[in-house]
Amino acid sequence: MMLADDCSISEDEASTIRAEADRLLRAAGAVGRFPTPVDEIMAAAKIQVVPIALDEGYLAHVRHKAAEAGRALLSALSKVWGVFDPRARVAFIDPDTPKEKLPFLKLHEGGHAVLPWQSIFGIFEDCRKTLDPETKQVFERQANVFASELLFQLDGFTAEASQSAFSINVPLRLAKRYGASAYASLRRYVSHSNRTCVLIVLNPVVLGEPFGFSCSVRRVISSPSFKRQFGRLSWPTAITPDESLCHMVPLHKRMTGARKVKLTDDNGDRRAFIAEAFKTTHQVFILLHAVETNVHPLILPARPA
Amino acid sequence: MTPPRPKDELPPEIGKYLKELRNSRGFSLREVERLTDGKISNGYLSQLENGEIARPSAIMLHRLAAAYGVDYAVLMERAGFVSESEAPANRAATSVLGELTQEEEEQLLNYLGYLRSQKSKK
């Protein structure tokens, strides 16, 4: 199933989250420091970060009462990367989380603590009440936006990225500087770009019949300009050798260099794009940006006096 | 922005409740706008109270709870964001691979409670 883009939160929510992130960045003295000092930001927010660890004594106690409950706890802990305890103000993080994902994950959990309207999590923990699933999803997207604003120091990343020619290498280089993952950096690069560009995030390649290979589409992130011009474009649920973008998938290498592709905009016009791709253990990224058409000014000869 | 509801639908309880709250505090729509630093415009609040906005956002309810001095959780419940359930769910802020079942979430919350109690003993 394709996931919703974090940009789908409202403008009001986005600007409020940004203001909270700005306040916290300043409180932590984190502006202009690299990589972004995530642990100092969490400390400034008075959030303790603790690795999730199983207490064997507790597990034995739970199992003694009901074996099923013990199984459910183990299963829950195997699924959880991060969980925020609002009452203790503790962010529990899976210690096996890949190192490059840790900063974003910590800040995401921090979002649940800092965004005041998310205090609802701590209020009804003991009751037999349910939070509307759509609202829960919105809260998770808001926490992602909060983490991204902090990690990329508001406009800092975008301003630095705009100093270089548009390329997949730019966010990959800046990822190291800001202490972010390739995934988070590529998403930020596209979602905050003033270019007409789009990022297709694919799940890892699955080799085999009947297609030879297949990668399911996990998420598509568009720049505002791309959304305006290609809003009606539909994406396949998977890239297979039958799809036009199949040649972009780096099967036996890490990257696919720049190639020209064409996409049809909402007016039915075919537009030229440059596509590049990059692969990590967990995802394949295809970045497309529109070829800028330079309109040269028509210079008329001077009229004779 | 939340899409407006068709006029012929009955206004949801939250709109009526918010109007009663505002009146009980003696605030005009414009005073609420001022109290919330313009974050809740008088036009938006009027639409909300008259049931022309089906679902206010949690952030808006949080601002209104602060302006009226009422419990935010009550507004969330009145708006239908939080409801009684035989099998309660979505009570924990989690980043998970897939989804937690109701039983898994229950056990996880119990475990967090246990860890809290251990921490407070130290």
CA atoms within 13 A on the CB side of A262: 5
Report CB contact under 8 Å: B89, A138: no
Please report residues of B whose CB lies closer than 8 A to that of A48: none
Sorted by sequence, the CB contacts under 8 Å of residue A7 that are 6+ apart come out as A191, A221, A222
Question: What is the interface pTM, i.e. ipTM, of the complex?
Answer: 0.88
Report CB contact under 8 Å: A83, B92: yes
Q: Which residue of A has its CA nearest to B58?
A: A117
Predicted confidence at residue B4, as pLDDT, reads: 44
Please report residues of B whose CB lies closer than 8 A to that of A121: 91-93
The C-alpha atoms of residue A140 and residue A146 are separated, in whole angstroms, by 10
The model's pLDDT over A7-34, given as tens digits with 9 standing for 90+, comes to 678 999 999 999 999 999 999 999 999 9
Report CB contact under 8 Å: A85, B103: no
Report CB contact under 8 Å: B1, A10: yes
Please report residues of A whose CB lies closer than 8 A to that of B102: none
Predicted confidence at residue B8, as pLDDT, reads: 42
Question: Does residue A86 sit at the B interface (CB-CB below 8 Å)?
Answer: yes
The C-alpha atoms of residue A167 and residue A163 are separated, in whole angstroms, by 11
The model's pLDDT over A212-253, given as tens digits with 9 standing for 90+, comes to 899 999 999 999 999 999 999 999 999 999 898 999 999 989
Report CB contact under 8 Å: B92, A125: yes
Q: Which residue of A has its CA nearest to B63?
A: A117
| pLDDT class of B95 with cuts at 50, 70, 90 | confident
Q: Is the pLDDT of residue B11 over 50?
A: no
Predicted confidence at residue B79, as pLDDT, reads: 93
Is residue A143 within 8 Å of A112, Cβ to Cβ? yes
pTM equals 0.90
The model's pLDDT over A267-296, given as tens digits with 9 standing for 90+, comes to 999 999 999 999 999 999 999 999 986 545
